[in-house]
Amino acid sequence: MGIDLSLIWIVIIFFGVMMYVVMDGFDLGIGILFPFVPDRHDRDVMMNTVAPVWDGNETWLVLGGAGLLAAFPLAYSVLLSALYLPLILMLLGLIFRGVAFEFRFKANDRERPVWDLAFAGGSVVAAFCQGVALGAFIDGLPVRDGAYAGGTFSWFAPFPLFCGVGVLLAYMLLGTTWLIMKTEGALHARMVQVTRPLVWIMLASIVAVSIWTPLAHARISERWFTFPNLLWFSPVPILVVLGTVLLLRSLRGEVHSQPFLYTLGLIFLGYTGLAISTWPNIIPPSISIWTAAAPPQSQGFALVGALFVIPFILVYTTWSYYVFRGKVRLGEGYH
């Protein structure tokens, strides 16, 4: 029995995208939270909590995209053809956010609000477009003769737009719990206050997606609600409820890292649920990972490079977070 290179590659891409969602999610969330924190000094502290690590977080997005191109070129071409508008807007948002991140610290008092707006606006656009792309992917993409067969604006539909809002909420929750862990004083207290209602709104959006997807797609309903799958997958929603309870309780505790860790757990469970809903299709509803796979020689050659690079990414990512651990106070920053 040979090695299933397609399965190995889909695990790598799944891991890379998950790492991006987790790591870039909380600094996008900080940008989304900017309009709710008008004080300049609080905004300085917020940005300094991620200043040493934010640009390295996007390495995982590059890894996921490059892996998709190398291992599943059919999926890469179809997804880019179907989603090029939201993906272009996402990249523009990331560019605005990145430029604003650096320029804001060097701007004078008159120019600073412009860069604050660019940072917040870029974060909102990038997060929303990621959610729209995810929703359109789950909805399914028509493929004919190996090419995308839908319209330019097929992604502009109720479910993808709702997913865009859902991702905004998820990143906001990552941002508030990150700041609970990294800040103190009035800003810390404010983030605790904001997080409580945000948890309930986030839970409501998870429930809405969990109901919407099986009602709209028979394949997803069959995946979740037929035996024995119902027994195998039932721990996912149970763990979501448990994680929500623990997250709300942790907001009253003294261990400030707990809310962020529980939020990571909820994000992982939601991400896993979406993977279960679409498996084994890399282009829902009908193109599997094996159908879209590159030749084994190409997958094997690229895999050697990936297995060489990924440990280095993990090491420098872990080291950077370790070096810049702990609370960030006003006047203590990377810039």
pLDDT category at 333 given cuts 50, 70, 90 is: low
User: Where in the sequence is the domain holding 167, given as residue range(s)?
Assistant: 5-324
Q: What is the pLDDT of residues 2-28, one digit of tens each?
A: 688 999 999 999 998 888 888 888 889
Does a structural domain hold residue 335?
no
Q: Round to whole Å and give the CA distance between 129 and 93.
A: 9
8 A C-beta contact, residue 100 and residue 119: yes
| Mean pLDDT for the stretch of residues 214-231 | 81
Q: Is 226 left (phi over 0), alpha (psi -120 to 50) or beta?
A: beta
Give yes or no for residue 82 having a pLDDT over 70: yes
- Structural domain contains residue 316: yes
Write down the pLDDT at residue 180.
Answer: 92
Examine the pLDDT at 1 and tell me if it is beyond 70.
no
Residue 280 included in any domain: yes
Instruction: Report if residue 248 sits inside a domain.
Output: yes
Higher pLDDT, 16 or 223: 16
Burial bucket for residue 220 (CB in 10 Å: 0-12, 13-18, 19+): buried
pLDDT score recorded for residue 245: 93
pLDDT at 163: 93
Give me the pLDDT at residue 332, please. Answer: 62
- Is the pLDDT at 334 greater than 60? The verdict is no
Structure confidence at residue 324 as a pLDDT band (50, 70, 90) = confident
The DSSP bridge partners found for residue 144 are 147
For residue range 175-209, list pLDDT tens digits in order: 999 999 998 888 888 999 999 999 999 999 988 98
Q: What is the identity of the amino acid at 168? A: L
Task: Domain count for the chain, please give it.
Answer: 1
pLDDT, tens only, 49-69: 888 887 777 788 888 888 898
Q: What is the pTM of this model?
A: 0.91
158 inside domain = yes
**In-domain check, residue 268:** yes
What is the model's pLDDT at position 2? 66
Strands (E), 184-277: none
Q: Which helix (H) or strand (E) holds 7?
A: helix 5-33
pLDDT of 109-164, one tens digit each? 788 888 889 999 999 999 999 999 999 998 888 888 888 888 888 899 999 999 99
Provide mean pLDDT across the span 239-250.
92
Q: Is 334 inside any structural domain?
A: no
Averaged pLDDT, 205-219: 86
Q: Per the domain annotation, does 217 fall within a domain?
A: yes
Mean pLDDT of the chain: 87
Least confident of 64-68, 105-109, 246-250, 291-295: 105-109
Q: How far apart are CA 282 and CA 233, in angstroms?
A: 20
What's the mean pLDDT in 302-316? 90
